Amino acid sequence: MEQKVINAALEEMRIHAMKFTMEDLTRRLHISKTSLYKIVPSKDALIRSIVDYKVGEFRKHKAEILEGDGTADDKLLRLMHLYTDAFGIMGSHIASDLQSFYPEIWEEWQSFQRETIHTVMDLIRDGIAAGVYRPVNLPVNEACLMAVVAAISEPDFLRRNDIPYRDAVEAVGDLFLYGLKNR
């Protein structure tokens, strides 16, 4: 049942960002508040469960990608798509609310993003070693990627530019994989 609550909460977040209420969930799930609070003790606990679930699912599928067959390029593209599929919901309102109302979870989210960047950098190293990518200054590339991810994760950036998080992540991936030159 907890999975049903998480899925319902994700749908409410898609519609209302973090401003959904537990009552919204009870209506969506057709259960009483008492039943809901037996499953999840508070909205804070629910938000924690959602983030833990999404990050856990990402890590599981990331491991499958990294251990599977394919070039570094294939793995980078699959990892980027996995990330946008898993976290495309992180629009400006959700990111802003998470940062404002759940600062501990926001910090963990930022740490998770750094971990994901380290994985990307490992794939780039593998690609360089395999001759898929040209040699580049890895510390500079990592710093650029960290800065770009931090910038596109800022709610004001997404809102000001009216860009969904998913599109921003895909644009970063496109720029890093293909650069600015016409193909």
Q: What is the pLDDT of residue 37?
A: 95
Q: What is the pLDDT of residue 92?
A: 58
CA–CA dist 69, 67 (Å, integer): 7
Q: What is the pLDDT of residue 84?
A: 80
Q: How confident is the model at residue 181 (pLDDT cuts 50, 70, 90)?
A: confident
CA–CA dist 80, 97 (Å, integer): 24
Q: What is the pLDDT of residue 44?
A: 94
Phi, psi of 177 (to 5 degrees): -80, -35
Q: How confident is the model at residue 165 (pLDDT cuts 50, 70, 90)?
A: confident
CATH architecture of 1-41: Orthogonal Bundle (1.10)
Domains of the chain by residue range: 1-41, 53-178
> Is 1.10.357.10 the CATH classification of the domain at 53-178?
yes
Give yes or no for residue 154 having a pLDDT over 80. no
CA distances from 114 to 5, 55, 68, 70, 81 (A): 28, 13, 23, 24, 17
pTM: 0.80
Query: For 123-149, how does the pLDDT look when each residue is reduced to its tens digit (9 = 90+)?
Result: 999 999 999 899 999 999 999 988 888
